[in-house]
Each structure stands twice: as C-alpha cells, then as structure tokens.
A and B are shown apart, each in its own frame.
Chain A
Amino acid sequence: MMSTESALPLISSFNLRKYFPIRGGLLSTRIGDVRAVDGVTLEVRESETLGLVGESGCGKTTVGRLMLRLIEPTSGHTYYHPSPEVLARLEALYATLKGSVSDNGHGPSPEAQATLKELDEIANQYSLYRMKHSKMKELRGKLQIVFQDPFSSLSPRMLVRDIIGEPLAIHHTGSRRERYQRVGQLVQDVGLNPEHLWRFPHEFSGGQRQRIGIARALALRPEFIVLDEPTSALDVSVQAQILNILKKLQAEQRLAYMFISHHLSVVRAMSHHVAVMYLGQIVERAGTEDLFSRPLHPYTQALLSAIPVPDPTLKRERIVLKGDVPSPAAPPPGCRFHTRCPAVMPVCSTIEPPLIEVRRAHWVACHLYPPSGAVPGSSSGMAPAVASEGDAGAGVPLAS
C-alpha cells in the first residue's frame, strides 16, 4: 500500500454537488432536493486506488458517476490531468473562496466575485463538465466504469465478443481484425478462455460476468476506472478472484481506480487512500493504513468497529450507532452526523465542521479536532491533500 511520492493527480474534483429534484404538487414543481452529493472534493492519483466508503444512500455511486460525467453536477468541477500550475491556482482560489464566503451568506463579496470569475474561466478551459461533446467522447475512452450488478450491466442479446468489442467499434480503433485480436487479448487478461467469446452473458456465473465487465472497461486502455461495488453481488471465494485480477491489472497497466464499496475490509485490501462519506459529504480522508489504524471521525470509528471479523477469538470494543441514516432530502443542520454521534457536542447541531487537515494527509470534518493551529501553513481547510505522505509511519499527529 505504498503511495509513491511522485504520483500526480490524475483526476481532481472540487466542490461537487448534485441535487436531485423532488417533484410534486399540482404541476409537479420542484418541492425539494435530495442532496445526494453536497460539496465533495476528491482527487485520484496516477496508478493509485482511492477507496470511497459509506453506507447505502450516502452518495458514493453519484460521486463516481459525476467524476466520469455520466451525470451533470449541480455545481462543482472535475479536472482530468490538471497541470501542476492549474492545480495550484485552483487550490489557492478555492481556499480563498472558503475563507471569504460563508455558505449561507447573502451573495458573494466583491473579492469573492473576482475569485469566482477566475474559477469560472479556468473551468471553461479545463473542466470536464464544460467540454465539448467531441472532446468528451475522446476522453471517455480514458475514463471507464465497472458496474455493481453483473447481471444487468451486460446486454443479454450480444455475444461476449461484441460486448467487449463495442467500445473499440464506437471509437473506431483499428480494423475489425485488429479489434477482435484485442478482444481476445483482453479476455485472457481477465482470466477467461477465448472459447467464451462465442457465448452469451446468461451462460456465465456472476464472477465470470464481472470479468467480462472489467474486460469491456479495459478495452480502450483507460487511465481511470470507477469500480462501483464490483464485488458486492459475488460470493467471497469469487470476490477474491476478482480483487486479485483488479490488482494485477493495476500493476501491469498503471491504472488508477476509484473503488466504491460499503465493505471496509475489501476497501482496505484494495486502496492506497480512503475517503469516508456520510450523507453526501466526505467526513474523513487519509492514507489507508493511517485511516484504519487511527480513525479520527466518530463515524469512521463506529463503522470500523461495526464490521464483523471472521475470527471468534478477537473480541473488540464495539460502538453500536443508534438509529438510522437521516434522509438526504432533509439533512440535519450542522454536522450531519450529530443525530447519531456518540461524542456529540452542542456546537455540532449548529455549525457544519469543515474538512481540515488534522495530521499530515489526514483530513477530517469534525468539531472534535479544532482547526486552530492544527496544521501550520494550511489554515483554510478546502485544498485537497497534494503532498502524499499518506502512510501510517509518516503521519505525525499534529493536533494538540
């Protein structure tokens, strides 16, 4: 799980928001919003895996789809291969923006307006969501996804050969013969036999179908793959096969993954960095070892302690959270976790905690870790962790 120092951000998202309208009433007017994703800042580095963890309904999948522009965001931007200069500028701008405007203020101040304008210009040039259709289509080959349910993500009327070859055909890659050669190669990469090419999806088991889905995602030699719960529909013995294949492919082809899962042990086995989501927001982000050995946010702690361990001799202290996840249509004010938090304070129900860097490359959004003097040199807490000292040994607890 070593993250290399030199790894550059491959794809970075800033302040992503996605509100789904709730329609109702006489003219089906907008009567509310489901805040599926509410201000998520993320980055995935070259040939690394970012694990995205959270309970069902917390917006994991929506983030994954936003980052590939499979759906358009309500606000926020994603940059693919941002140059270091642009990235540095963006971080500075978002930092000043966070410092100058509060979320519920009455419109931006003049200097904030200037910042917004500059952000807009950068977005016009580089943001994934402002790209032209033709340019986007080119990029789609580099940004791929493997879906959760292998039973509904493959067309039942196409041969495996055509399913895997379809992206190649759409992007007019090579002649037909070359395409089929590539398909044959891909099928072997994911551990299927060439004879499987002439079958239909219904002839395969769940694990084999998921391999087909992975082969399809790999067809155009992508750099970034969103793995949206790729193993949650599979049995453990098959899950291990799929995870091993994914790891092997990552090592061979220098892929970057975003691994979305609710299963923490799988995320731990796969990821270099982990972000924990709760109700549309990221509550904690850190290197894998750091997060799992020293979780800071009470939600992460509860989540970790709730996982059953396949060993009856290990008896751990268990934090059992009370109640259910609140509805994202009406999220609680202040910290969204305060209704279930075991360490709740009065301030939690009024002020929303910002995501701040409490230790090196360990970001947490919780009032238990006050921002004042916590991290020298980075007072506003919105810039993503660029320095990659995300490993357990390097993380020195800086919070007093």
Chain B
Amino acid sequence: MPAVAQPTVDRTNLPTVDVAAPSATQGGTLTEPAADAGHSPVVLDVRDLRTYFFTYDGVVRALDGVSFKVRRGETLGLVGETGCGKSVTAFSVVRLIPDPPGRVIGGKVLFRGTDLLWGLDSEARIKIDEKTGRAKVRRSFRRIKTALERMSAIRGRGISMIFQEPTQAMNPVFSVSDQLSEALLLHHGTSIVDELLNATPSGPQVRPALEALVDTARNGAPDTVRAAAAKVGQAMNSSTFGTQAFYLVSESDLGPEDMVRRLERVAHRLRLSRIERAYLRQRRRQMVVEDELHELYLSEMREGHINRRQRRVLRGRHARNRLRGFYYGIWGIRGRIQRPLRDETFWRSVQRLEEVSIANPVQIARGFPHELSGGMLQRVMITMALSVDPVILIADEPTTALDVTIQAQILELMRDLKRRIGTAILLITHDLAVIAEVADRVCVMYAGQIVETARARDLYQHPLHPYTQGLLSSIPNLERPDKKLSSIPGSVPDLIHPPVGCRFHPRCPYAMPICKEQRPPTTAEGDEHTVACFLYKGDVAVE
C-alpha cells in the first residue's frame, strides 16, 4: 500500500468537519479487504458518460461527464441527492434509459474491456440549437434495435440489477417461482435441461438412499436430513430432486414405508417419456443457438465490426428452431410435456431462495408478489438478480422502501453474498449511512457529475469537496446528537440550465470567482482520492 500523497493544498482556510476519528495517515496504512480490491481487475470502467433527456422545455443534462471504475469483488457506493443522476447512471450503464426522451449521447462504458456503447454515434443524429436550447434528434430505430439486442448478451449474466421498489419491479400475474425460473432458464438453460435429461430416477442406489433419507428424517437433526437428501440427489443425478425430497420428507408425517413409496412415485415423474425428451432436446438446441448468438454479439462489440454472414446464419438457425418448437406447442399437450422442465426450475428456484435464508422457500416460491412483504420481495429480487451469477450487480436504492429492521436484514444479506460470491456491486443510494455500512469506495454525485471519489474511510474522515462536507455534517448523528445540524443552503439546481462552471458554486460556502467560469478538473488528492474542486490543486487525475 502506498502512503497517502501529501496534499499540496493549504489546509488552513479549509472547512473542517470534526468527525472524531483517526488522522489521514492512518487511512493509508489500512490493510483491509478494501485495500486488496485495489489490485483486482477493473470489471466496469465508465468514462465521461453523458446522458441527456430531450424534453419540450429543453435539454436536461442529466449526466455530464461521469467517470468511475468498479473492480472485481468490490462495492462501489454512488451517493447523491434526489435528481443528481444516480439512477440515470445505473440505467445508462445497462442501456435502459427510456428513449425517447432520453439518450446516452457520449462516453464509454467498458465492461471487461467491451464497450457497451459501441456504435452509439450511428444510432441517432442530434443537433442542439444553442440559442433556444431545443434539440433535434433523428433516431435510426434499426440501429437502436440491434444495439439493444446486443445488450441482452450483457444484461443478466454480465450486469444484473435490483430495483428500488420491489413491489413494482415484479410481475403481479406470475408466481415468484415462475419469475425466478425465467431468469434461470434464460441464463442456465442448457445445464438445467442437461441435468433433467441425465437424471437416473431408477438407478440401483436410489432405493437405499431413499430409505436412508426416510430413516434419518424420523429422528435426525435438520442438517443430517439435508445431507441424506443430498445423497438421494446424487444417487439420482439430480440435485433438485434432493431438495424436493427434503421438503417432502420434512413436511409430511407418513409412515416410513408409505413415505418411501411416495418418494419413489415422485421420482418416477423424472422418468421422461419420448416426447418429453424430444421436447427438451429441442429446447436445448434453441438455447445453444441463443448462446451462440450472444457470443457473436459480444465478439462484435469487442472487435468493433459486425460479422454479417455469421449473424445471418445464426439468426436463420434460431428462427427455424423456434418454428420447430412451435410444433410441440400445437400438439395441445404443451403443458404436459413442459412439466418436467417446470418442476425442475421450480425446485431450482427453491434452492436459490434457500441461499438467501428465506425461512419457508417452498411457500414463498409458490406465492405471488402481492402476498409477500416488501422485505421478502426485495430478497426475491436479490435472488433473481444473483441467480444468474452476474459479474456486476447494480443495486438501485435497494433498501429505501424498507423499514430499518428490514433494511438491516437486507444489508446483512448483501454483505454475506458479496463475501460468498465475489460479485462486484454498484450500490446506489441517497443514504450516506447505508453506504458507510456496505461500500468499499464511494463516489459522491452532484447535479450529474461526480464531485469526489474516495475509499469509504477516507471519505467519511476527510471529506474534501465542500458538498461532501455539507452532506456529512447535515446528517443527524445518533452517536453525537448534540452537534448542531448544519445544512447546505439552497437546493439542487435545474439541469436544463445548470450553473456555469462548477455546478455547486451557487450553494458553496467557499465559492471563488473562478468557480463561476470554469468547470473544475478532477484532481488526485492522495491515494485513490479524487476531487473536482478548485480548492485543491493536486495532480490532474488521468482518466
């Protein structure tokens, strides 16, 4: 760990935020996991991202040059007040900005080196009339459509997302397991089908394993029962059957012989008929082509040109496969031939729900979104987002709609999952306290720009930007309640006519003449601490 670089700025006339904490030098000697993250590879590199909304009132410059990096296994917090562009950043990264009115108009989003905004300039021609502030946008919808198609190769497996309102993000007419299954089938389809096709429901070891399970269930602790159920799953080559058997055994109170017979009957369903096998193989072919298409899209984005010939071939295969799939539909028995797959994905979603420590996953999986509480739904959302093992998880205000006790549960869960899975998390919130609990590094946003980036500890102990300082001192602190609350005068500016120069200068207590003219450059002030403010004259950060 390099030591904190000596700030070249004169600190005497700087505001001090009296957070009773160790001094700056200690921040550099930390050997926390956060420090390790400094060496892990960058998975998301956002450079100079600009997103504008073209409205009747004028062009809203919602994002104006946002740059940040997310490393593997790290949690990056993005904080700011309402309307500062936090969510717009998230939506721009996964290209979910509603278009019209919004468009990402510039910048780079490098996801593991692949630019997600590739071909952006050809998608629309934009002319902004400087006098009236009005804009003309001519979109090429075909190009936009292919761009969005390409994004489907990234969304989910690459970048997955949790939304703010769990009640609004779920579909009310499908059960929880249906919605989880959809994600699972989209991203792990082939392995699910393979497991189903390779299951051996009547192998020689099955019966003894079942008997052992029923035996342990009668007097064993839940852990041993679970182990026995896992053995059943191994014997049948199907881990989902293990889960199913566990719940069957633990819920029913049949006698031992009846129980074994019942389990065998359920296992019998895994013995697939010819048409079921045919259907599954068909689905598998479809999924393989879809995967190949996604691979192609990714390679196109990486290499920067469209491989038209291969694309045509793959699309043709895809269309023919879908037609053949339709053939299974018109038999009128689609529901029946799909049942093995349905059951398989149902129990897979139960397995996933178990991982986020939901107490009764079977009932929850069968339930519909309106039957669950907000905290429970948020867990389901997290499960859904993580069920595809994403490289990056974007959590957009995941706990804002929840009560404090539930918020504590969810934050605990996210921390635990991060430890286990090692997903990089981009956590977006307006709550500085939540960020302090979870994030390794923090970016502070103001009016569509990032004003300060630092490690969480550095930021809370030595906030540099006047906005960050104001924000931190305006939080009522539970530990030190007697401190008078200071507030930032004024409110967030209108982004159609943002202030010229530094966007914070109308509210800044240290505003200088230069602040009203020029936009401050982002400068490095110590190790991994950058700030965009004229008060600091460190090295201009290389971005």
Contact = CB atoms under 8 A, between A and B. Distances in A.
A252 interface: no
B430 interface: yes
Interface string A311-337: 111100010111111000000000000
B292 to A, nearest CB: 44
A309 B478 contact: yes
A324 B359 CA distance: 12
B472 interface: yes
Given A262-B404, A303-B404, A205 B491 contact: yes
Contacts of A288: 481
Given A237-B471, A262-B404, A264-B404, A308 B431 contact: yes
A268 interface: yes
B406 interface: yes
Q: Which of A240, A262, A311, A314 counts the most chain B CB atoms within 10 A?
A: A311
Contacts of A311: 19, 21, 436, 460, 477, 479
A321 B81 contact: no
A236 interface: yes
A265 B404 contact: no
A313 B477 contact: no
A205 B471 CA distance: 18
B166 interface: no
B433 A309 contact: yes
Nearest to A56: B403
Size category of the binding interface on chain B: 35 or more
A292 B492 CA distance: 33
B474 A324 contact: no
A322 B360 CA distance: 13
B403 A268 contact: no
B228 interface: no
Interface string A232-275: 00011111110110000000000000000010111011000000
A307 B474 contact: no
Contacts of A302: 405
B447 to A, nearest CB: 13
B437 interface: yes
Interface in B466-482: 470-472, 474-479, 481-482
A207 B82 CA distance: 12
Nearest to A204: B491
A240 B469 CA distance: 14
Contacts of A239: 474, 487
A207 B21 contact: no
A312 B491 contact: no
A262 B400 CA distance: 12
Contact of B457 (A208, A264, A313): A313
A72 interface: no
A105 interface: no
Nearest to A54: B403
Contacts of A240: 474-476, 485-488
Contacts of B472: 310
A323 to B, nearest CB: 7
Nearest to B429: A308
B253 to A, nearest CB: 24
A236 B471 contact: yes
B373 interface: yes
A311 B82 CA distance: 22
Given A292-B481, A311-B21, A318 B475 contact: no
A169 interface: no
B233 interface: no
Given A244-B487, A312-B456, A321-B409, A307 B481 contact: no
A237 B488 contact: yes
B375 interface: yes
B356 interface: no
B475 A236 contact: yes
A320 B403 CA distance: 12
Given A308-B433, A313-B460, A321 B405 contact: yes
A87 B218 CA distance: 62
Given A236-B81, A310-B460, A325-B403, 4 more contacts: A206-B82, A307-B478, A308-B433, A324-B406
19 contacts: A1-B481, A55-B404, A56-B403, A236-B475, A237-B474, A240-B474, A262-B403, A303-B404, A304-B478, A305-B408, A307-B404, A310-B477, A311-B19, A313-B457, A313-B461, A314-B479, A321-B405, A321-B409, A325-B403
Interface of A: 1, 55-56, 205-208, 235-241, 243-244, 262, 264-266, 268-269, 288, 292, 302-314, 318, 320-325
Q: Which 7 A-B pairs have the closest CB atoms?
A: A240-B487, A308-B433, A240-B474, A306-B408, A269-B476, A237-B488, A235-B81
